Amino acid sequence: MSTVTDQLNLAPEHTHTNCCPAELMEFVIKRGEGQLAANGCVVVNTGERSGRSPKDKFLVEHPDSRENIDWGKVNQPITEAQFDTALEIATKYINAQDDVFVFEGFTGADINHRLGVKVVTTLAWHSLFAQTLFIKPGSKSDAGDGSWNHDWTVINAGCHKLTKEEQEALGHNGETYIAQSLERKTVIILGTEYAGEMKKGLFYAMNYDMPDAGVFPMHCSANIAKGNSNNVALFFGLSGTGKTTLSADENRALIGDDEHGWGPSGIFNFEGGCYAKVIGLTREKEPQIWDAIRFGSVLENTIVNPETRVPDYDDTSITQNTRVTYPVDFIPGAQIPSVGTHPSNVLFLTADAFGVLPPVSKLTPEQAMYYFINGYTSKIAGTEAGVTEPQPNFSPCFGGPFMPRRPAEYAQMLSDRIKEHNADVWLLNTGWSGGPAGEGGQRFSLSYTRAMVSAILDGVLENRETIEHPVFGLHMPTSVPGVPDEILNPRNIWTDKDAYDAQCAKLAKLFRENDAKYDLPDAIRSGGPKS
């Protein structure tokens, strides 16, 4: 069987390993891969793909892991032979380049539960992306002794689009192909320059490897109260629901913005950086993210004024999925190394495109399991190829595209930890109210959402009076400091109450159709809509 080491020709004369940010940024500018913005970051364009390509992602079906995988539209099987073909195509392309960039580091801030990764790229900015997102040996985020071990490899030949002959050899119709092997611990990327594929490939690896080590892998952000190490919060949610925004709080220390593990000692960040959406970004709304965009960060698909070189965060002419990546220690007061104790509050974030769900509600244990397994939100324009407007979306565990194992396995791990550590669970709708998206509905005010989060984390809502939603059974607080009482019950905001009731019934039906896919105990199923 061929291996990465056999095929990659990483000769010293054309291989640049763990370059410092200044060196990589110099390569980016010299090679014409991007431009320098006035705030000091490099601005790059990811080409035709400005989001993930889930339909082009495949996993090797292997006897050692076959029974552990939730096969289907997310986990699409390929053979060992197809993987070898993809590996041959990728390494042939990389070996023909004058310059190859290598990052060697880690995923996992807990030294007892981390994977050593090697990321091989042909673009300097891809290597800078990896350096900002993952943990570099000897950096502030490295809690170890600076040594490095090699577990996983990412081979990013994304600049090479598959030819018709190569597509035929792979049995695939399309220029993009992402292949992953759990046994060979390798991710291969072809035909897309979107850097998020590297990040999600390694998240996928952690999501498979960590449960066997007694760690619950989570698609969530996390922060901790300054001065109170026991006040840790988790924010679950898919892209665009507010994980990064809500966890970047100047009154709390950021642990991480996207991917974490919950192990025997508490939680820890899988990454060493943040990957934040910047659409509509302002210093007033998100000062920490604004100030983190500086020398050493990478800004994707954002238009820059040609004269002033100032980024225009309101310009979505390339994509709505404009993003920036930066090391987590660019956030003032961040928790470094990125570890914390067991969380006391778990928040599920959903961007409800129907405008039906309340902005905040406290969940019973049964509801917590139900909403985690269903993972309802809306796909936000630009986060995936072909998504141009918000669409209702059920994604198990609030991270279905990145979860190789069955949802019930992850859900049981969450349930066990919530019970053991007596954590409260909440559902926050950061989406629309007053109507559906695009039909008169407006997104909830960020200031109101922040006030709700603060009330939860400060313990204000723990024993606050609630009323029960008539259809979804959610327990809605009747008052939250700093938030108008009338918006806490979503029906109040709709001018046409009958239209709200109709939308409510429609969404409830979609929930029931989705939960029918799972073999749920009656107790968990009871946490869903009443009709």
The CA-to-CA distance between both ends of the chain, in Å, stands at 55
Q: How many residues does the chain have?
A: 531
d(CA 320, CA 51): 10
Q: Which of 200, 252, 379, 475 is catalytic?
A: 200
Q: Which of 153, 221, 244, 395 is catalytic?
A: 244
Q: Which two tokens stand for residue 15?
A: 């291989």
Q: Which of 46, 49, 50, 52 is catalytic?
A: 52
Helix (H, G, I), strand (E, B) or coil at 119: strand
Nearest alpha-carbon partner for 232 in 460, 462, 457: 457
C-alpha separations of 114 from 110, 185, 260 in Å: 6, 14, 11
Q: Which of 56, 110, 142, 258 is catalytic?
A: 258
Neighbours of 16 (CB within 10 A): 17
Question: CA 142 from chain center: how many Å?
Answer: 21
Q: Are strands 216-225 and 232-236 parallel, antiparallel or unpaired?
A: antiparallel
The tokens 């598959």 sit on which residue? 162
**Annotation says 199 is catalytic:** no
Strand order in the sheet with 273-277: 34-36, 42-44, 298-300, 323-327, 273-277
Q: For the packed helices 21-30 and 124-133, what is the interaxial angle rounded to 10 degrees? A: 150
**Annotation says 52 is catalytic:** yes
Question: CA 31 from chain center: how many Å?
Answer: 30
**Annotation says 260 is catalytic:** no
Q: Which of 118, 126, 172, 219 is catalytic?
A: 219
**Annotation says 31 is catalytic:** no
Q: Which two tokens stand for residue 23?
A: 């060196």
Three-state DSSP string of 38-49:
CCCCEEECCCCC
Specify which residues 128 forms β-bridges with: none
C-alpha separations of 407 from 218, 241, 375, 385, 523 in Å: 12, 20, 10, 24, 17
Q: What is the DSSP letter of 135?
A: B
Specify which residues 433 forms β-bridges with: 442
In terms of Cβ atoms closer than 10 Å to its own Cβ (0-12, 13-18, 19+), residue 68 is middle
Q: Which of 141, 186, 239, 378 is catalytic?
A: 239
**Annotation says 219 is catalytic:** yes
d(CA 348, CA 324): 23
Q: Which of 57, 252, 260, 323 is catalytic?
A: 323
Q: Which of 113, 126, 243, 475 is catalytic?
A: 243
Residue 498 main-chain phi, psi, to 5 deg: -65, -40
Which amino acids are annotated catalytic? 52, 200, 219, 239, 243-244, 258, 323
